[in-house]
Amino acid sequence: MPIPRLQKNNKSHNSTKIKLEAHRISLENIYCENEGEPLFKPQNFIIGSGQIIVIRGENGSGKSLLLRSICNSSSCLRGSIKWNKQNTSASNCAQKCMRIGHNPPFLHSLTLFENLQFWAQMLARKTEEKAENLEKAMQNFALQSFWHSPTQRLSAGQKQRGALAMLMLKPHACVWLLDEPHAALDLNAKQNLNEQIKNHLNNNGSVIIASHDKLNELNHTSVTLKHHSKAFFSR
């Protein structure tokens, strides 16, 4: 299989860029349960086009579970999610969101290109988009030097860059849900990720990040998950 054509410059590849729809998402009395027990106190927050929410909290407070639940409308999620003031379905959330978690969905025996090629096919809305989305992934996250390396041989930082590159494979996703996205990245890769986030915001996108980092380079609002108390939920 031929790989996408390499660009001669190092700038982000933005040809035929999809303009995302303006949106406003309201999360009302949101919390997650684990084995029937609430993990954190209910949260209320709103995020719209061009905005970042950073979810903070101690280890085990439910940050990762919350991101997964927003994307998949998991059965452990309580409360409501409204898209432009309207209740939204699980399928609508999944279509409009793109989540990058701790463990990239890669087969270790395949090369990075082969893994991303599979996901490009799965995530593209049109067959003709696949090659361009792959090229964006390669260029925007500087994957050329290990494009054909088996995933099992990549460093933690290289795997993380490969995982983050999946964001380019679903350009119609308005909301990025990123779980500790800066983990294992070197300084240049962190700066590049921040630029990709800013590009997404400028294109009407929004981002929800679970992180322990300060993220001073990104203008954001923080939401802190606090462990629940049985007294709080028994009122």
Phi, psi at residue 23, to the nearest 5°? -150, 165
**From 3.40.50.300, 3.30.1240.10, 3.40.1190.20, 1.10.10.10, which CATH number describes the 24-233 domain?**
3.40.50.300
How far is Cα 92 from Cα 29, in angstroms, rounded to an integer?
A: 20
How far is Cα 133 from Cα 4, in angstroms, rounded to an integer?
A: 9
197: β partners: none
The bridge status of strand 206-210 relative to strand 175-179 is parallel
What was the pLDDT predicted at 227?
Answer: 76
**Which tokens belong to 171?**
């350009």
Tens digit of pLDDT at every position of the chain (235 positions): 344 333 333 445 555 678 898 999 999 998 888 778 888 999 999 999 999 999 999 998 889 989 988 887 566 888 888 888 887 766 778 889 999 998 899 999 999 999 999 999 999 988 889 999 999 999 999 999 999 999 999 999 999 999 999 999 999 999 999 999 999 999 999 999 999 999 999 999 999 999 999 999 999 999 999 876 543 433 3
Provide the whole-model pTM. Answer: 0.88
Contact 37, 26 (CB under 8 A): no
What are the residue boundaries of the structural domains of the chain, listed by start?
A: 24-233
What was the pLDDT predicted at 206?
Answer: 98
What was the pLDDT predicted at 219?
Answer: 97
Residue in 93, 106, 120, 90 with CA at minimum distance from that of residue 208 = 93
